């Protein structure tokens, strides 16, 4: 039995409550719950102003965002099964550092604690002293102070976090991640806490059961700052946010413009596919009226070159898989739909196995990874099975390497809703099996909105493939993509090296690009512009 103290914020949100509830179920843990409250209200004009801004935004956004509403609204059904103790904290106005009172340090030491969990590291606590109050120090999730303000205000593309174990003046990095930055502080706060808290629970659970933490070898260290936004910075944030929503209203209501993806193709030598110059010479495929095309994959069979892609219908608000035949002289022919289901389909990943062609379209709306077989190329396909069921997984890709079949996918888990950052790997001895997919011990092998989500693949003979990764940016989904050479892939290791970054600058007026595939000397890719619907 290990004695664990949890330091709680003065207002306990949903994800902190979930953490407490999960730890209460672990028999190896004896919990001590401590709520930290400031002794006096702040007299700093910047902090007073920020608190008003923060509360006002939370109240407004909670009315329009279900995720924020769930994050903020108190759970009246939640009851602590352990006594709740309150400590009044002391602030050093010259340094901003927060500490406990001397008798509170003494109280913690007398409890002979094994570990302290700080559930709100934004308070800038004096960890050097506090970590001496338990045998194994402190563990917590670390972000920049006033979570997400800096990243949203200054239009950063992503917001990072780390999980650390601090003992005295030493710290050990356990895990890290980056999520895309949203338009508003509150919705970004809700999402990063939702994504990071499950990994804190994972570390603590391992500590309770195995008596150790599990540092992730791919974790990245970040330098965080403790900075209260000035009144000027807060005004800057409000001005930028008002401008952003004004532009959105003008585009939608007056200009009638929407983000609209299209697809292009080019015949080229495989060794040149990393060049933006090659992409600028591609032929653009014009989608039908009120449709967009995206996520293209190309295959050559029976002497025909066919591009399979997501075909989204704005009027029906759903997508299916369609085919477009392309020719070396630059013209193309839209062949029509090849797979249509009552749920959304996209990302029609193609692979061959035992001389048969298969497709795995993205079907997270069906809570499964579905396999289709080509019966008559290119138009006739037949559903085979669910490779995995009960899973929300996006943009799944399979390939063979050293006698195994490897699955790379962007999935949600029980406590993770983000498919734009986390890459999971599984392996099996056959790509056609519904059972036996073994998870990689480093899952997620990548946790970054800057390339974590799959955006296609470049298969190479006698080498591991180049994985195309989507790069999310502030307020832009799939803004650009990168090319990542997988350099190590075994049952225990995964590494990749970025070899190129592709920006949406190969055609005039582009807003984004997020996908590329190559096969048999042909590359296909997508791009996005603001356009009116037909």
Return per-residue pLDDT of the chain as tens, 534 residues.
899 999 998 778 888 988 998 999 998 899 999 998 876 555 689 988 998 998 899 889 988 888 888 777 766 555 667 778 889 888 776 666 788 899 999 999 999 999 999 998 888 888 989 999 999 999 999 999 889 999 999 999 999 999 999 998 899 999 999 999 999 999 999 899 989 999 999 999 999 999 999 999 999 999 998 888 999 999 999 999 999 999 999 988 888 888 899 999 999 876 566 677 889 999 999 999 999 999 999 999 999 999 999 999 999 999 999 999 999 999 999 999 999 999 999 999 999 999 999 999 999 999 999 999 999 999 999 999 999 999 999 999 999 999 999 999 999 876 666 788 999 999 999 999 999 999 999 999 999 999 999 999 999 878 899 999 999 999 999 999 999 999 999 999 999 999 999 999 999 999 999 999 999 999 999 999 988 877
Count of C-beta atoms within a 10 Å radius of residue 51: 14
Which part of the chain has CATH 3.40.50.170? 2-249
Which part of the chain has CATH 2.115.10.20? 256-532
Structure tokens at 337: 């739909």
Q: Which CATH class is domain 2-249?
A: alpha beta
Exposure string over 219-256, b if 16+ CB within 10 A, otherwise e: beeeeeeeebbeeebbeebeeebeeeeeeeeeeeeeee
Q: What is the pTM of this model?
A: 0.93
What separation in angstroms does the CA of 453 have from each of 92, 446, 447, 449, 478?
43, 9, 9, 7, 9
User: Is there a contact between 198 and 96 (Cβ–Cβ < 8 Å)?
Assistant: no
CATH superfamily of 256-532: Glycosyl hydrolase domain; family 43 (2.115.10.20)
């Amino acid at each position: 039995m290990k004695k664990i103290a949890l330091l709680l914020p003065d207002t306990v949100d949903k994800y902190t409550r979930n953490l407490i509830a999960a730890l209460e179920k672990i028999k190896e843990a004896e919990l001590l719950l401590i709520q930290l409250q400031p002794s006096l209200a702040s007299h700093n004009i910047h902090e007073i102003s920020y608190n008003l801004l923060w509360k006002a935004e939370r109240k407004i956004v909670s009315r329009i965002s279900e995720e924020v509403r769930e994050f903020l609204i108190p759970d009246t059904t939640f009851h602590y099964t352990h006594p709740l103790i309150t400590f009044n904290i002391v602030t050093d106005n010259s340094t901003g550092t927060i500490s406990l009172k001397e008798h509170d340090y003494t109280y913690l030491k007398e409890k002979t604690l094994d570990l302290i969990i700080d559930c709100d590291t934004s308070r800038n606590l004096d960890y050097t002293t506090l970590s001496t109050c338990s045998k194994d120090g402190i563990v917590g999730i670390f972000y920049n102070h006033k979570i997400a303000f800096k990243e949203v205000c200054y239009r950063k593309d992503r917001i990072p976090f780390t999980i650390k174990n601090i003992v005295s003046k030493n710290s050990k990095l356990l895990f890290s991640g980056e999520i895309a930055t949203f338009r508003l502080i509150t919705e970004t706060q809700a999402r990063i806490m939702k994504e990071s808290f499950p990994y804190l629970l994972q570390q603590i659970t391992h500590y309770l059961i195995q008596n150790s933490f599990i540092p992730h070898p791919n974790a990245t260290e970040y330098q965080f700052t403790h900075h209260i936004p000035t009144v000027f910075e807060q005004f800057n944030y409000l001005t930028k946010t008002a401008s952003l929503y004004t532009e959105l209203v003008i585009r939608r209501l007056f200009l009638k413009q929407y983000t609209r993806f299209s697809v292009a193709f080019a015949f080229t030598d495989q060794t040149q596919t990393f060049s933006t110059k090659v992409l600028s010479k591609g032929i653009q495929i014009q989608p039908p009226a009120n449709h967009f095309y995206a996520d293209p994959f190309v295959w050559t069979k029976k002497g025909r070159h066919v591009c399979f892609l997501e075909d989204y219908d704005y009027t029906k608000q759903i997508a299916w898989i369609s085919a477009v035949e392309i020719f070396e002289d630059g013209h193309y022919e839209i062949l029509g739909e090849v797979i249509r289901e009552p749920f959304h389909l996209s990302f029609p990943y193609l692979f061959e196995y035992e001389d048969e062609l298969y497709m795995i379209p993205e079907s997270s709306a069906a809570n499964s990874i579905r396999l289709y077989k080509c019966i008559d190329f290119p138009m006739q396909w037949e559903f085979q099975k669910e490779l995995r069921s009960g899973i929300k997984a996006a943009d799944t890709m399979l390939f063979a390497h050293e006698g195994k079949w490897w699955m790379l996918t962007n999935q949600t888990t029980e406590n993770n809703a983000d498919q734009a950052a986390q890459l999971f790997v599984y392996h099996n001895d056959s790509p056609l099996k519904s059972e036996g997919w073994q998870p990689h011990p480093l899952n997620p092998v990548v946790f970054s909105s800057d390339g974590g989500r799959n955006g296609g693949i470049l298969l190479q003979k006698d080498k591991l493939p180049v994985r195309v990764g989507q790069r999310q940016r502030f307020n832009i989904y799939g803004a650009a993509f990168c090319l990542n050479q997988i350099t190590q892939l075994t049952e225990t290791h995964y590494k990749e090296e970025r070899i190129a970054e592709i920006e949406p600058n190969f055609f005039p007026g582009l807003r984004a690009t997020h996908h590329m595939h190559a096969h048999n000397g042909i590359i296909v890719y997508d791009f996005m512009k603001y356009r009116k619907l037909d």
